[in-house]
Amino acid sequence: MDLDTEVLIVGGGLSGLAVAWWLAQQGVAAEIWESADAPGGLIGTQQAGGYTMERAASLMLNFRPEVSALLAQSGLNERRLALRADLPRFVLQGGALARVPMRAGALLVAPFWSRAGRLRMLAEPLVPRGGGEHESASAFVTRRLGREALEKIFEPLLASTFGCDPDLAPARAVLPRLTALEDRYGSIALAVCARKLRRESLPASEMFSFEGGMQALVDALAASAGVRLRTRCTALAIAGDSRGWLVEGRSAQGDARVCARHVVLSVPAAEAGALLGGADPELARLVAGIDYAPLAVAHFGFDRTAFGAALDGMGFLAPRDEGRTLLGCQWTSSVFGDRAPPGKVLLSAYLGGARASHIASWGEAEIAAAALRELTPVLRLRGMPELARVVQHRRGLPLYHGAHLQRAQRVRERLTLRPGLHLAANYLDGVSTRDRITSGCAIARAVCSHLRGALGAGGAAGATRSGVATA
C-alpha cells in the first residue's frame, strides 16, 4: 500500500500536540486526528463573566530542558506568567488552614508536627535502605520519614497530583526522585548534604502559566507550521503490514483512511486498547487494563467581601484523614491576578481521585454543592457565588497502582515488536504537562531516527517529501 503520510497522530491532546510540534521542528509534517471539536484534551481555558477558568491543569512546574526549549522556540516565553516563589501554601489540619513552609529546615519546625513526628523525621539519616521495587509510596514515606509525614504532607500531595491512593501506588512510580536519592545515597537528608558539599544542585524549577490561561500552550502547538490538525475525526481500526500502518476512521466529511509509516496513539487507555485489538491483542489487553480515577474542577467567582479568611497564598490541600471529598482548592486569582475581574475572587476546587471515586456518578450541581459545603467553613464564606462552573472528567487521571511499572515495561516490550507504532500517553510516563512535553520530544526523536535510517537505506521518497531529510 502507498504511504499517505509519514506520521499520523491519533488524539490531539497535549501529548499528541507535543509529538507533532517536536516533529515539525525537525521538518517532519504530522497529521493529527482529533475526535473532539477542538484540540487540547484535558488542557483548555474557559472565559465567562471576566473570569478565566481551566479545564484541569492551571499551571506548569518545570525543571526539564525540553520544556524550556519548547517555550523559547514557540514564542510562549513572552506570554509566561510566573508564580511567586514565596507564595504561601497551606494544608488542612483539623479543619483549619496550616501554613506549609517550602524550605526543609523551616518545614521541620512547623507547628503542626507533634514532638514524636518531628523527632521521627530527624531520624531519617539513620534509616537503612530497603523496601524494594514493589514498595508502596505510603510504605516508603513511612519507613523513611514516619507516618505523620505521610498523612500530613505526602498523601494530600500525591492524591492531588496523581489522583492515586499512596497505599496502592508504587513509590518508584510516583516518587521517583526521592527513591533515586535513597538508591544513590541511602538517605534523603544525606543526599541533600552530599549535594551541598559537592556544590551540586537539583535542577532549578519554576512554576508558571500563560496570559489567557493554559489554552495558550494548546493554541501555540496546534498552530505550528507542519502540524496538520483534523478535528471531529475519529480512528476506528488499525492494521499493519510490512510497509506501514493503515488507520481507518470516520470524519465529519465521511469515512477516513490513511496509511502512515508511523502511528502515534495519544488517546486514553480504553480507546487505545480498542484500536490495538486487531493489530496486537496482547498489547491491547495490557493497555486496556489501566484504570482511571475521576476528577472534577469546580470554579467559583465571589466578591472579595465574601471571605472571612485571608487569601494570601496559593491555596490548600486536604489530607484524607480530614474526611473531605475535596483534594484541595487553588486560590486562582491570588496566584494569577488576571483570572478574575477587579474586586472579585476566583476559587478552583479539585475533587475526586481514587479517594473519592464515587463522584464519577454525580452531576454538576451535586459536585458544586459538595465543594461549597466543604469550602464554606474553611474560608468563612458568606453568601453564594456569583459564578459557578464545573468541569467533569470521569476518566481524569490514570492510576499508577499495583504492578503499574511492570505493566508499562511489558507495554514497551510489545511496542518493540511493532516498528512504527508509538504510545504517547499519560498512563505510561507521567501525568503532568511537563511530562507530556518531555515524552513527546522522546517519541519525536525516535520517529526521526527511524525515518533518517529509512532515507539512508534508500527507502524514503515520502520522507524526502515530508522534509525529514533535513532533520
Res 106: pLDDT: 80
All structural domains of the chain:
5-47+212-290+401-470 (3.50.50.60), 113-197 (1.10.3110.10), 292-398 (3.90.660.20)
Beta-bridged to residue 48, according to DSSP, are 51
pLDDT above 50 for 200: yes
Q: Are 70 and 437 in contact (CB under 8 A)?
A: yes
Range in 243-257, 295-309, 373-387 with the lowest mean pLDDT: 243-257
Mean pLDDT of the chain: 91
DSSP string, 98-121: EEE-SSHHHHHT-TTS-HHHHHHH
Distances in Å between the Cα of 346 and the Cα atoms of 49, 349, 386, 411 are: 11, 10, 10, 41
Name every residue whose Cβ is closer than 8 Å to that of residue 249 and which is 6 or more positions away in sequence: 33, 233, 234, 235, 236, 237, 255, 256, 257
How far is it, in rounded angstroms, from Cα 120 to Cα 368?
Answer: 39
Task: Record the cell numbers describing residue 48, joined without a space.
Answer: 465567562
Res 452: pLDDT: 85
State pTM to two decimals: 0.91
Task: Record the cell numbers describing residue 102, joined without a space.
Answer: 517550602
Q: What is the DSSP code (8-state) at residue 214?
A: T
Please write the tens of the pLDDT for every residue from 304-322: 999 999 999 999 999 999 9
Q: How many CB atoms lie within 10 A of CB 80?
A: 15
pLDDT above 60 for 202: no
Name every residue whose Cβ is closer than 8 Å to that of residue 47 and which is 6 or more positions away in sequence: 53
Range in 33-42, 79-88, 323-332 with the lowest mean pLDDT: 79-88
Res 453: pLDDT: 79
